[in-house]
């Protein structure tokens, strides 16, 4: 039984105080101590005893009494004990301050502690224990630097001062200098091997922080050996166990935590860990209780933040986002730097994201990213937020980073692919493919959407095989496989063609046959795409079956109706197509696509008024924003302008103006709309602005040929029309032919007609005829083409007969051609009795008569030519005989001469010499005169040659526009080579005049009719041409302007002149 003896003053007696039985009221003891003036160490011992017994009130009372001013007086020389008392008080208040959670009281405690220590210092500046106490106080206040200097003062005096060593170790620990701290703890342990477990605890923490977990564990175990109730050691060991991340470790860790909790239920750390544990086991009620206790038990920032985090997480997982947000916020507030504890930021970001506060969520996630710049989840979340905020570029950037960090994250690749769809299809496809590969590798099922997207991209890049495979992968197993194989053979009643596109009988039969027709909703899109692909691959039959399957299961899938309608339309089954579009409209009567298609179909079936209404409806359904509908209306107006046979200039102008306005509106909305540009070009060309329209068409053509998705044959035709209108026939033909080959598989008889027309204008009759024959072969029921062919042959014949010189063969072929023409016309005349083909019988008869007449003339010509030929042959024969006779005579003469000369030879011998001399003289004369004259002659020839060549060129050029009026020549007169030109032109005129006369000959009264017929034939050629979106009508305006449209003439003349001046510039 421990006891102390208080010596009684001025005697030998002592008062025995049994320490276990200290009175409840400290005053009793105090009275004794004061009365007996007991040594101060006794005061301290008794006070300490009270403290040990937990009677802090008595402890404080004694010490406060023992440090009062009286004591200072009485015990003035007892310095150490006084200091010890003061220090004890200081330490007590430090402790109170340390554990106090309320800030104000905490401050007050610290102030008191400081006062006591200062008082102690005043007694003895150098007392180490005071400095140690001060150091502890400073530590408790968090003033690490000052604390360190306090401890250092002590250690300078005594380097083995254990408390100072421990304090300094603590300082170093807080500074993060764990190895230094460890050294200090070790030294303290060496000095004081039997010291309390706390020293080992320090060592353990240092080891832990240094990553030496095994040694740390040993240290903690030692602490527990010394004191099995040491909560810190238990918690630390538990944490170590938990960190092993193994089921066994975690279990034993949790057991230790629990023990720690049982020993001391207010250790925040263990509370947090327990809460954490219960969070994962889903016992949210316990989590809340534990964390709330932890929160009230500690004031330590990080720990509190942890607790709040636990709480927030619990609410978060329960779906109470508002509360979760509040607690996350509280948790975040406790953290100075995100580096210390980043989870609550993430959680806060998540809740904010969920609550729709993107901006703040973004901030929080960015903080997380600062700490973990390579965290995939965060990168993905950020990408998602940026995507939501519309900053696609940034979103993409983050996803790229995420995929770089973790190249095996399929989800990231998928997201990246989604983001890239709009901008970079190639990269998007790559991303999707990578994702697909990754998913496959891990044996996960690839989402249907991904495969679908991959397929679509391949489709768009015209990689049909891969696209097909992708769609098949996306669809997996199902009834479509049977349909794809074409194994389901169902016969259809051929008398009802409608059934091909609407029949669902097939599916009923399949169902009866035991096939499952299941079509999950997420496979509809890939199935539709597959059908679309099959359509592209011209496997339209299977495509149609698949579309019908979709409709069988999902009757509201309007797009499938539209595709079926498109198939029907491509096969020219307009009625069916209209029916299908109407089905689509039943699903949604405002669907602009369906309305546009319907309008188009109505146009095709010649229902103009209704088409316009439909286009209007389509345009209204999209508030005029749908450029297709606007374009359709523009086209409609353009067609309407040119539709009337009897043109109404006013109406035409308003329609053209309207269409121009519509095209322009579309162009304003979409500056890159090729179709609108094309339309605008057409309107301009219609108004005669060929240079501008040519520029436009050329640009559109270039743009269209650079794009694999756009097929715009019209612009080729339009460009060719412009060339044609400008007289560039060769180029026009080339352009038409290219268009025909490139876009129409050479099957478009309309374009062939254009080519024929160009040949006709270029007076290439045979080419014209051949082209027309091809056109007839393609479009046998188009009798207008036959008529045109007849006209071409007639023209050919006429032009040959009008030639000043022609061979017999030419005349013969002319006769043949005329016979053909007569046959063609008479067949037409017979046919027109049966049918109406848009031209009247009279006119054909006129042609027949004219051709017959020409034929008669030609036959005469042929006979004449043949006669002439015979005559020539006869003449040749005569002249040959004559020549023979001449030869004989000459031979005879020569013989005679020879004889004569021989006779004379001798007589002449004398004169010969004289003659020779004379000859020599003459020769000399020649020598002197010849060269000069020859040179002159030569230069004359050169001059003339050059001149005539030039003339010829000019002449050729003139001939091309020989139809131009006289006024033209007047203009030409001003030109440099006026005279020559004029002569040439007059030559031309004479060439032409016989032509005209030739036409007139013998057909006097009919001439006018014939000319009219010749003029009309051109329009006939076009009467049946339903205007496409091309400018074919313009041809008429241009080509006929010479003949019957004086209004157009000035414009044409301008053109020719322009061309003339151009050419002249080139010539110069």
Partner 1 sequence: MKLAGLSSVDNAHDDSVWATTWVPATTSRPALLLTGSLDETVKLWRADDLQLERTNTGHCLGVVSVAAHPSGVIAASASLDSFVRVFDVDTNATIATLEAPPSEVWQMQFDPRGTTLAVAGGGSASVKLWDSATWKLIATLSVPRPEGGKPTDKSSSKKFVLSVAWSSDGKRIACGSMDGTISIFDVARAKFLHHLEGHTMPVRSLVYSPTEPRVLFSASDDAHVHIYDSEGKTLIAALSGHTSWVLSVDASPDGLAVATGSSDKTVRLWDISMRAAVQTMTNHSDQVWGVAFRPPGGTGVRFGRLASVSDDKSISLYDYS
Alpha helices in 670-748 (DSSP H): 674-686, 690-705, 713-725, 729-744
CA distance 626 to 616: 11
777 is a site residue for partner 1 (CB under 8 A):
yes
Sole window of 241-249, 665-673, 753-761, 827-835 interacting with partner 1 (rule: CB under 8 A):
827-835
Tokens of 886: 């001449």
Phi-psi map region of 320: left, alpha, beta (phi>0 left; psi -120 to 50 alpha): beta
Work out which of 746, 881, 939, 965 binds partner 1, going by CB under 8 A: 746
Nearer to partner 1 by C-beta: 328 or 547? Answer: 547
Nearer to partner 1, 159 or 777 (CB): 777
Distance of closest approach, residue 486 Cβ to partner 1, in angstroms: 6
The reply to whether 837 sits near partner 1 by the rule CB under 8 A is yes
Q: How far is the CB of 830 from partner 1 (least distance, A)?
A: 3
Q: Is 750 in the site for partner 1 (CB under 8 A)?
A: no
Residue from 162, 210, 827, 1060 touching partner 1 (CB under 8 A): that is 827
Pick the closer one to partner 1 by CB: 500 or 800: 500
Site membership for partner 1, residue 1023 (CB under 8 A):
no
Q: How far apart are CA 222 and CA 239, in angstroms?
A: 16
Nearest to 661 by CA among 643, 642, 636, 694: 636
> Which contacts (CB < 8 Å, 24+ apart) does range 236-245 have?
236/201, 236/204, 236/205, 236/208, 238/270, 238/273, 239/273, 240/208, 240/213, 240/216, 242/273, 243/213
859 near partner 1, judged by CB under 8 A: no
Site for partner 1 in 39-98 (CB under 8 A): none
747 binds partner 1 (CB under 8 A): yes
Instruction: Determine if 852 is a binding residue for partner 1 (CB under 8 A).
Output: no
549: tokens are 């399957």
Q: Does 16 bind partner 1 (CB under 8 A)?
A: no
16, 104, 489, 923: residue in contact with partner 1 (rule CB under 8 A)? 489
Q: Any contact of residue 126 with partner 1 (CB under 8 A)?
A: no
Of 808 and 827, CB closest to partner 1? 827
Helix (H, G, I), strand (E, B) or coil at 1018: helix
Q: Does 945 bind partner 1 (CB under 8 A)?
A: no
* Cβ-based nearer residue to partner 1, 492 or 892: 492
Burial of 923: CB neighbours in 10 Å, binned 0-12, 13-18, 19+: exposed
Collapse the DSSP code of 457 into the 3-class scheme (helix H, G, I; strand E, B; otherwise coil) and give the result.
Answer: helix
| DSSP H or E run through 479 | helix 479-485
Does the protein bind partner 1 through residue 481 (CB under 8 A)?
no
Cβ atoms of 500 and 492 within 8 Å: the answer is yes
Identify which range of 106-114, 637-645, 752-760, 817-825 contacts partner 1 by CB under 8 A: 817-825
- Whose Cβ is closer to partner 1: residue 831's or residue 885's? 831
Separation of alpha carbons 762 and 771, rounded Å = 14
Regarding 440 and contact with partner 1 (CB under 8 A), the answer is no
Nearer to partner 1, 146 or 1025 (CB): 1025
Q: Which residues contact 510 (CB under 8 A, 6 or more apart)?
A: 479, 482, 488, 517
Task: State the nearest-atom distance from the C-beta of 494 to partner 1, in Å.
Answer: 4
Task: Give 766 or 996: the residue with its C-beta nearer to partner 1.
Answer: 766
DSSP 307-352: HHHHHHHHHHHHT-HHHHHHHHHHHHHT-SSTTT--HHHHHHHHHH
Is residue 812 near partner 1 by the rule CB under 8 A? no
Q: Is 645 in the site for partner 1 (CB under 8 A)?
A: no
Nearer to partner 1, 430 or 767 (CB): 767
Q: Find the binder of partner 1 among 351, 378, 529, 573 (CB under 8 A).
A: 573
- Single out the segment in contact with partner 1 by CB under 8 A; choices: 488-496, 710-718, 757-765, 903-911: 488-496
Least distance from C-beta 746 to partner 1, angstroms?
6
* DSSP SS3 for 227: coil
Site for partner 1 in 323-352 (CB under 8 A): none
The least CB distance from residue 502 to partner 1, in Å, is 14
When asked if residue 781 is in the footprint of partner 1 (CB under 8 A), the reply is yes
Give the interface segment with partner 1, choosing from 93-101, 553-561, 749-757, 770-778 (CB under 8 A): 770-778
Sole window of 253-261, 263-271, 610-618, 775-783 interacting with partner 1 (rule: CB under 8 A): 775-783
CA distance 109 to 1040: 113
Q: From the CB of 506, what's the least distance to partner 1, in Å? A: 13
Closest CA to 261 of 283, 293, 288, 284: 293
Among 442, 513, 609, 834, binds partner 1 (CB under 8 A): 834
465 is a contact residue toward partner 1 (CB under 8 A): no
Which is closer to partner 1, CB of 482 or CB of 654?
482
Q: How far is CA 1068 from the centre of its chain?
A: 53
- Residue 1012 is a binding residue for partner 1 (CB under 8 A): no
CB of 549 or CB of 789, closer to partner 1: 789
| By the rule CB under 8 A, 488 interacts with partner 1 | no
What contacts 24+ positions apart, CB below 8 Å, involve 796-801?
796/765, 796/766, 796/769, 797/821, 797/851, 797/854, 797/855, 797/858, 798/854, 798/998, 798/999, 799/763, 799/765, 799/995, 801/854, 801/857, 801/858, 801/861, 801/998
Q: How far apart are CA 660 and CA 684, in angstroms?
A: 8
- Judged by CB under 8 A, does residue 21 bind partner 1? no
83 neighbors 120 (Cβ within 8 angstroms): yes
Footprint (CB under 8 A) of partner 1, residues 782-811 = 783, 789
**Least distance (Å) from partner 1 to the CB of residue 533?**
13
- Specify the DSSP element, H or E, that contains 3: strand 3-7
> Using the rule CB under 8 A, which residue among 174, 466, 540, 654 binds partner 1?
540
- DSSP letters, 795-825, are HHHHHHHT-SS--HHHHHHHHHHHHHHHHHH
Size of the site for partner 1 (CB under 8 A): 46
Query: Is the separation of the CB atoms in 754 and 736 below 8 Å?
Result: yes
Q: What is the footprint of partner 1 within residues 259-318 (CB under 8 A)?
A: none
3-state secondary structure of 568: helix
Other CB atoms closer than 10 Å to residue 795's CB: what's the count? 19
Q: Which of 282, 373, 780, 1046 binds partner 1 (CB under 8 A)?
A: 780
SS3 63: helix
Is residue 830 near partner 1 by the rule CB under 8 A? yes
Binding-site member from 354, 770, 852, 853 for partner 1 (CB under 8 A): 770
**Interface with partner 1 includes 708 (CB under 8 A)?**
no
Residue 299 CB neighbour total at 10 angstroms:
16
Q: Which residues, in sequence order, are CB contacts of 369 under 8 Å at separation 6+?
A: 375, 378, 379, 382
Q: Which of 565, 612, 619 is nearest to 587 (CA)?
A: 565
List phi, psi (to 5°) of 375.
-80, 115
Q: Which stretch binds partner 1 (CB under 8 A): 317-325, 681-689, 826-834, 882-890?
A: 826-834
Alpha-carbon distance 119 to 122, whole Å? Answer: 5
Least Å from the CB of residue 752 to partner 1? 12
C-alpha distances in angstroms, 533 versus 171, 272, 330? 75, 60, 57
Q: Which of 23, 373, 407, 486 lies at the binding interface for partner 1 (CB under 8 A)?
A: 486
Shorter beta-carbon distance to partner 1: residue 144 or 498: 498
For partner 1, which residue of 11, 103, 572, 671 counts as binding (CB under 8 A)?
Answer: 572
Interface with partner 1 (CB under 8 A): 486, 489, 491-497, 500, 538-542, 570-574, 745-747, 770, 773-774, 776-777, 780-781, 783, 789, 816, 819-820, 823-824, 826-827, 830-831, 833-837
């Amino acid at each position: 039984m421990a006891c102390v003896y208080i010596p009684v003053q001025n005697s030998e007696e002592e008062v025995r105080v049994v320490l276990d039985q200290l009175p409840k009221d400290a005053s009793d003891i105090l009275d004794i101590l004061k009365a007996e003036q007991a040594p101060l160490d006794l005061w301290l011992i008794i006070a300490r005893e009270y403290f040990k017994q937990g009677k802090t009130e008595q402890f404080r009372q004694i010490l406060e009494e023992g440090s009062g001013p009286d004591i200072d007086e009485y015990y003035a020389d007892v310095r150490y004990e006084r200091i010890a008392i003061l220090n004890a008080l200081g330490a007590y208040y430090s402790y109170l301050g340390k554990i106090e959670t309320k800030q104000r009281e905490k401050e007050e405690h610290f102030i008191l502690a400081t006062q006591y220590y200062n008082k102690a210092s005043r007694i003895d500046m150098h007392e180490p224990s005071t400095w140690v106490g001060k150091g502890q106080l400073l530590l408790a206040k968090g003033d690490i630097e000052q604390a360190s200097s306090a401890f250092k003062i002590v250690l300078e005096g005594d380097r083995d001062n254990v408390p100072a060593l421990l304090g300094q170790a603590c300082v170093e620990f807080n500074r993060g200098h764990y190895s230094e701290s460890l050294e200090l703890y070790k030294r303290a342990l060496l000095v004081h091997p039997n010291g309390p477990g706390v020293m080992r605890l320090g060592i353990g923490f240092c080891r832990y922080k240094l990553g030496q977990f095994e040694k740390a564990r040993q240290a903690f175990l030692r602490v527990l050996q010394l004191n099995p109730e040491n909560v810190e050691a238990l918690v630390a060991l538990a944490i170590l166990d938990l960190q092993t991340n193994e089921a066994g470790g975690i279990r034993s860790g949790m057991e230790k935590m629990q023990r720690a909790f049982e020993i001391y239920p207010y250790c925040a750390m263990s509370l947090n860990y327990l809460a954490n544990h219960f969070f994962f086991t889903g016992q949210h009620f316990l989590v809340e209780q534990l964390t709330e206790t932890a929160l009230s038990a500690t004031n330590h920032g990080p720990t509190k933040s942890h607790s709040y985090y636990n709480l927030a997480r619990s609410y978060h997982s329960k779906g109470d986002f508002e509360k979760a947000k509040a607690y996350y916020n509280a948790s975040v507030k406790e953290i100075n730097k995100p580096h210390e504890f980043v989870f609550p930021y993430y959680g806060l970001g998540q809740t904010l994201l969920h609550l729709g506060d993107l901006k703040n969520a973004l901030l929080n996630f960015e903080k997380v990213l600062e700490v973990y710049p390579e965290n995939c989840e965060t990168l993905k979340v950020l990408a998602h937020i940026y995507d939501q905020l519309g900053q696609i570029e940034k979103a993409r950037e983050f996803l790229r980073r995420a995929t770089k960090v973790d190249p095996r994250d399929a989800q990231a690749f998928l997201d990246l692919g989604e983001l890239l769809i709009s901008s970079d299809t190639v990269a998007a496809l790559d991303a999707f493919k990578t994702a697909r590969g990754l998913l496959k590798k891990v044996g996960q099922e690839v989402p249907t959407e991904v495969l679908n997207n991959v397929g679509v991209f391949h489709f768009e890049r015209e990689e049909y095989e891969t696209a097909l495979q992708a769609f098949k992968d996306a669809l997996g197993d199902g009834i479509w496989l049977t349909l794809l194989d074409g194994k389901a053979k169902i016969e259809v009643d051929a008398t009802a063609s409608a059934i091909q596109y609407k029949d669902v009988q097939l599916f009923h039969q399949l169902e009866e046959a035991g096939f499952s027709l299941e079509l999950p909703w997420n496979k509809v899109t890939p199935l539709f795409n597959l059908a679309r692909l099959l359509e592209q691959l011209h496997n339209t039959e299977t495509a149609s079956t698949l579309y019908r399957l979709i409709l069988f299961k999902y009757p509201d899938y309007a797009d499938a109706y539209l595709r079926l309608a498109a198939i029907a339309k491509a096969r020219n089954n307009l009625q069916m197509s209209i029916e299908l579009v109407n089905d689509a409209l039943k699903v949604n009567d405002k669907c602009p696509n369906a309305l546009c298609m319907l309008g188009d179909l109505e146009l095709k079936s010649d229902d103009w008024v209704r088409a316009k209404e439909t286009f209007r409806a389509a345009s209204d359904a999209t508030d005029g924003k749908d450029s297709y509908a606007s374009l359709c209306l523009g086209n409609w107006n353009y067609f309407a302008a040119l539709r009337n046979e009897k043109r109404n200039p006013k109406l035409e102008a308003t329609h053209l103006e309207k269409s121009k306005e519509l095209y322009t509106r579309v162009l304003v909305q979409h500056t890159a709309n090729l179709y609108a540009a094309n339309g605008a070009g057409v309107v301009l060309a219609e108004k005669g602005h060929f240079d501008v329209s040519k520029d436009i068409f050329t640009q559109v053509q270039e743009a269209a040929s650079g794009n694999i998705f756009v097929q715009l044959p019209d612009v080729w035709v339009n460009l060719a029309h412009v060339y044609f209108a400008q007289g560039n026939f060769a180029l026009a033909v080339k352009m038409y032919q290219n268009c025909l080959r490139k876009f129409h598989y050479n099957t478009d008889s309309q374009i062939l007609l254009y080519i024929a027309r160009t040949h006709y204008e270029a007076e290439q009759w045979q080419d014209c005829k051949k082209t027309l024959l091809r056109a007839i072969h393609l479009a046998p029921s188009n009798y207008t083409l036959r008529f045109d062919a007849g006209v071409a042959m007639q023209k050919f014949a006429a032009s040959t007969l009008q030639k000043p010189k022609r061979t017999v063969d030419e005349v013969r072929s002319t006769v043949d051609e005329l016979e053909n023409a007569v046959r063609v016309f008479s067949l037409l005349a017979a046919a027109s009795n049966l049918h109406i083909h848009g031209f009247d019988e009279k006119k054909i008869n006129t042609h027949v008569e004219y051709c017959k007449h020409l034929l008669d003339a030609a036959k005469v010509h042929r006979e004449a030519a043949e006669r002439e030929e015979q005559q020539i042959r006869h003449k040749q024969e005569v002249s040959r005989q004559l020549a023979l006779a001449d030869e004989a005579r000459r031979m005879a003469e020569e013989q005679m001469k020879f004889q004569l000369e021989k006779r004379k030879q001798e007589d002449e011998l004398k004169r010969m010499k004289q003659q020779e001399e004379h000859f020599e003289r003459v020769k000399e004369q020649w020598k002197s005169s010849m060269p000069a004259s020859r040179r002159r002659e030569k230069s004359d020839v050169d001059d003339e040659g050059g001149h005539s060549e030039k003339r010829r060129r000019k002449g050729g050029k003139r001939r091309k526009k020989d139809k131009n009026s006289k006024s033209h020549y007047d203009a030409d007169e001003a030109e440099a080579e006026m005279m020559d030109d004029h002569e040439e032109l007059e030559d031309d005129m004479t060439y032409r005049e016989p032509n005209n006369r030739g036409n007139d000959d013998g057909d006097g009264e009919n001439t006018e009719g014939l000319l009219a017929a010749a003029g009309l034939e051109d329009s006939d050629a076009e009467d049946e041409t339903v205007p496409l979106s091309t400018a074919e009508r313009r041809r008429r305006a241009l080509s006929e302007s010479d003949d019957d449209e004086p209004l157009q003439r000035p414009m044409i003349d301008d053109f020719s002149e322009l061309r003339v001046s151009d050419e002249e510039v080139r010539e110069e």
